[in-house]
Amino acid sequence: MTRQLDDQQITAQTWFKQLRDDICAEFEKIESEAGSDATFEYIPWDRKNPDGSPGGGGMQGKMNGKVFEKVGVSISTVDGTFSEEFARQINGAEEDPRFFATGVSLVAHMANPHVPNVHMNTRFLCTTKRWFGGGADLNPAIPCEDDTEAFHARLRSACAAHNPEYYPRFKKWADDYFYIPHRNVHRGVGGIFYDHIELEKDTDFERHFAFTQDVGRAFLDIFPQLVRKRMGMAWSPEDKQQQLEWRGRYAEFNLVYDRGTTFGLKTGGNVDAILMSLPPEAKWL
């Protein structure tokens, strides 16, 4: 890194790595239960700043299995200086373009069309301001009301433990954000999305970090339940066709509208890790 990390940055970075480890272990366990020996491959990457100085890096974890056709779980810790143009788009960076960011990001594309695909990320960013962001959203090719309700109920519970206003606020944020304007459809059945949960006083780090941790734990609790519930279901060629067409919509959103994709590419991140969200196969009519 180009600078010494402070206690907050180290604490966030360390926990994101632990969350990555816990999620990957659970996903490998599911693969084993399905009779697969698939495991995660971990690929480290380093980032350089435009001036050639070290700018951090990360670790891309990927697995192709019997249940998880393609899943990526990546962690990164990067720092440097935003370009003048991009700094104007980032909270607290316009007056000082230096930044630090650490987080975990996950996208799972499932083999069985009845198993919902999913996206989750949690992150901690520092400019002249500091804040947490993240969330999780469910993206089934064949929606099931029971799965949708269970997923939302678990996120609702995680939010309620911290602030009764969080769930309705962050659910709406997800509904508004995960939307494909040129298709006039939502990317999936939603979840929660939040950003700029700022540290305005010293005690805010522990409070907002605890919430972000609970979002990660809620995801690790509920999503494996949904996978195990659906992964043995039979599917038809028509179901697979529907899944592949839906994946096309998912790819369109991530390439055109997703802020995380933009952030990674604008800050010189690892392209393969940034685009791990794209499905292994997709179709367009």
What is the pLDDT, as a whole number, of residue 1?
A: 39
> DSSP assignment, residue 72?
E
Q: Where are the domains of the chain?
A: 7-277
- pLDDT average, residue stretch 61-70: 98
> DSSP assignment, residue 275?
G
Q: How far apart are CA 63 and CA 27, in angstroms?
A: 9
Asked if residue 179 has pLDDT above 90, the reply is yes
- pLDDT average, residue stretch 273-280: 90
- pLDDT average, residue stretch 80-97: 78
Q: How far apart are CA 273 and CA 168, in angstroms?
A: 31
Q: Would you identify the CATH topology of the domain 7-277?
A: oxygen-dependent coproporphyrinogen oxidase (3.40.1500)
Q: How far apart are CA 106 and CA 70, in angstroms?
A: 11
pLDDT band at 27 (very low <50, low <70, confident <90, very high): very high
| More confidently predicted of 51 and 55 | 55
Return the active site residues.
119
DSSP string, 188-225: SSEEEEEEEEE--STTHHHHHHHHHHHHHHHHHHHHHH
DSSP string, 144-185: -HHHHHHHHHHHHHHHHTT-TTHHHHHHHHHHHHSEETTTTE
What is the pLDDT, as a whole number, of residue 50?
A: 80
Q: How far apart are CA 159 and CA 140, in angstroms?
A: 23
Asked if residue 84 has pLDDT above 80, the reply is no
pLDDT, tens digit, for every residue of 259-274? Answer: 889 888 887 778 888 8
Q: For the chain, give the number of residues.
A: 285
pLDDT, tens digit, for every residue of 188-226? Answer: 999 999 999 999 998 999 999 999 999 999 999 999 999
Q: What is the phi/psi pair of residue 235, to 5°?
A: -135, 160
Measuring CA to CA, how many Å separate 246 from each of 57, 249, 281? 32, 5, 11
